[in-house]
């Protein structure tokens, strides 16, 4: 059974409440139950933090033993060299996900420090991006 970590960064704890026109009206905890039902043969783990160091610590903790990472670093995507370095430091393959289309938003959101450290990036498909990322990681060799 493959183990996949889903890691959400700052402000994603407010999904379902924050800007529903951009991020939807469903909480991630509710959506996570849907993911678990969709992928019963996988062991999915979810962690969210508003703190950069906590996200880095989680990558260090599980990055040598888990089979894949789905990461939505929120605003840290565009600012955190340290988070990018953490992804490079572990062998766990990662897929970057963004609920909104970051390329259709403010110019500062167009650059990601994480993309070059990930197998790929999915953006603009809402919460469905997480499902596609998990599916990819489960099917990847």
The helix (H) or strand (E) run that includes residue 98 is strand 94-98
Residue 99 marked as a ligand binder: yes
Cα distance between residue 112 and residue 126, in whole Å: 18
Report the C-alpha gap between 93 and 87 in whole angstroms: 8
Single out the catalytic residue among 47, 98, 103, 110.
98
The answer to whether the annotation marks 100 as part of a ligand binding site is yes
Alpha-carbon distance of 108 to 129, in angstroms, equals 21
Query: Out of 23, 31, 51, 60, which one is annotated catalytic?
Result: 23
The answer to whether 109 is annotated as binding is yes
Radius of gyration of the chain (CA): 14
CA distance 10 to 96: 15
30 is in an annotated binding site: no
Query: What are the residue ranges of helices labelled H in 8-98?
Result: 20-23, 28-38, 52-62, 81-89
23 classed as catalytic: yes
Annotated binding site for substrate: 72, 78, 85, 99-100, 109
Annotated binding site: 72, 78, 85, 99-100, 109
Q: Any idea which residues carry the catalytic annotation?
A: 23, 98
């Amino acid at each position: 059974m493959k183990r996949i970590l889903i890691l959400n960064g700052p402000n994603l704890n407010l999904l379902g409440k924050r800007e529903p026109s951009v991020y939807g009206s469903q909480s991630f905890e509710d959506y996570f139950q849907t993911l678990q039902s969709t992928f019963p043969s996988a062991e999915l783990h979810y962690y969210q933090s508003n703190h950069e160091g906590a996200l880095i610590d989680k990558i260090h903790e599980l990055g040598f033993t888990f089979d894949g990472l789905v990461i939505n670093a929120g605003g840290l995507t565009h600012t955190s060299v340290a988070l990018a370095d953490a992804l490079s430091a572990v062998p766990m393959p990662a897929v970057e996900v963004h609920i909104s289309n970051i390329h259709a938003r403010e110019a500062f959101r167009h650059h990601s420090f994480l993309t070059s450290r990930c197998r790929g990036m999915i953006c603009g498909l809402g919460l469905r991006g997480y499902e596609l990322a998990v599916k990819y990681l489960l099917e990847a060799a």
